[in-house]
Amino acid sequence: MTKSDITNLLNAARKAKNPLEIAVYGDILSRIGNQEIALKKLELSPDEVTGIIKKAAAEREESMVTYQKAGRKELMNKELDEWSILKKHLPATFSEEETEEAINAAIIETGSTNKKQIGAIMSLLKKMHGGKLDMKLVSVSLGKKLS
């Protein structure tokens, strides 16, 4: 997904007069613009845009939990709707079995045997599989395997 893809989605949402999608895509474009300025780039790569969308979706998930605990169902539902829009634009993530296979392959490839080498494994996994892995799950699994 690129910045122009998001711009096209925003324009379509404006034509359809869908305020929720306008807000979500506008937010993503703003985040992309901020990141481009911070990195002094003319345009972010598709992987960087996907990372921004992934981060925004994770923030919505955290907000949903917070609002649910506070008994604010209307705000939780709004965050859920926004999260649903963002989730459509994220790559499918690996299943737990696929994640374990990728972790085992990375451990073998790096020859890692202890927790001090987790960083090298995580770096390799990010390079090989990008946004398809749930890095929280990877971290927990590596902690158990290399203890």
Structural domain including 39 reads 3-87
**Burial letters 23-41, b for 16+ CB under 10 A, else e:** bbbebbbebbeeeeeeeee
Separation CA 52–CA 89 (nearest Å):
11
Same domain, 62 and 112: no
- Please answer whether residues 94 and 133 qualify as being in contact, where contact means their C-beta atoms are separated by less than 8 angstroms: yes
Beta-carbon contacts of 58 under 8 Å, excluding residues fewer than 6 positions away, are: none
How many structural domains does the chain have? Answer: 2
Residue found by looking up tokens 């390079």 in the block = 127
Same domain, 79 and 20: yes
Residue found by looking up tokens 């506008």 in the block = 26
Same domain, 124 and 100: yes
Q: Return the percentage of the chain with pLDDT > 70, whole number.
A: 99
Same domain, 9 and 67: yes
The amino acid occupying position 120 is: A
Separation CA 63–CA 97 (nearest Å):
29
How do residues 86-119 score in pLDDT, each as one tens digit?
Answer: 999 988 888 888 888 988 898 888 888 888 888 8
How do residues 54-87 score in pLDDT, each as one tens digit?
Answer: 999 999 999 999 999 999 999 999 999 999 999 9
- Both tokens of 144, joined, read 């158990």
Same domain, 77 and 105: no
Which of 64, 55, 65, 63 has its CA nearest to residue 86? 55
Query: Last residue of a domain, which of 59, 87, 115?
Result: 87
Q: Return the percentage of the chain with pLDDT > 90, whole number.
A: 56
Is pTM, for the whole model, over 0.95? Answer: no
